[in-house]
Amino acid sequence: MDLKVQMAGASAGSLAVATYNCGLEPEKATQALHEFASNCRSNGTRYRLGGLLRDFLHAYLPDDAHERCRGNTHVALTRLFPVVRSEMVSEFESKDDFINALLTSCHIPFYFNGSWMTEFRGKFYMDGGVAAFIPRPPTEYAVKVCCFPVNEVLATVQDRVAQYERVASLLDVSISPDAYEPWPFNYAKMVTWALVPADDDMLRYMINKGRRDARAWAQRMLLVPQDAAANLTGGEGAGDIGGGAERAAERVRQAQAQREAVAEGLGSNGDGTGLRGRTGDPSVAKVTSAGMQSCESGSGSER
């Protein structure tokens, strides 16, 4: 029986779906993540991200990666000419061709290698997320996953676009960092982490969080009978990889407390002061420093 899942991804999401469908062991993928992040923190990412990513993909993906992912891994690209539009690639001639497709999907203009576009199969493209932020595979049903905290933002607009079926379907994100529990770091902070890798403790925490969020979705969909029998919810029972993640968890809790304190302060003062108006307060500065001094972790479909 072929258990390969039809998956689609853009940018870093393409790496996630490729890793899964290649059959790369989670432990090996985690090792690659930490080695990649350490290199980026030590040597920087601007203009060298593309070359470094190429080296890691060649080193960690199996030689038959293109065969394992052919037909079930849909890589989103943004084609530039004659008009900007999204394209999906799922047929690959060789491992090199497959890796080139992934690199094209990840091509952040200028930042990636100093060029604002890249050539793939004789045509010009850039980051797949530009034209298809959360692509979906050609299936009747897809579970959309996003590594950015979009749930809070989407909740404010979904009612207004519900009558527009096509638009509403684009906003149907099932799993995101703020979908099942509070998440104190905003979109801008997550983008920063996508460009400058977080420290290892935070990376381990985000891996654990991804497991909890996925388990929480499965529990909500009643896909884990043993969890339902044990009354487990909110991602309980997902397990974790340890190794310092608990230290990052404390920083996340402190950052969340700071966010809630700021929100409470703003809510109690009509003039918009409160804690935000007292950023010189040593206690506020301490919490902010402890909670925010960390710096990629990347599906259905996934971004």
Active site residues: 11, 127
Count CB-CB contacts under 10 A for residue 90.
17
Q: What angle do CA 281, 284, 287 make, to 5 degrees?
A: 150
Q: Which of 131, 73, 137, 81 is nearest to 102 (CA)?
A: 73
Do residues 303 and 11 lie in contact, with contact meaning Cβ atoms separated by under 8 Å? yes
CA distance 208 to 71: 30
- Collapse the DSSP code of 145 into the 3-class scheme (helix H, G, I; strand E, B; otherwise coil) and give the result: strand
Helix then strand then coil, in percent of the chain rounded to 5, is 50, 10, 40
Please name the amino acid found at residue 303. R
Contact 18, 9 (CB under 8 A): yes
108 φ/ψ angles, rounded to the nearest 5 degrees? -70, 120
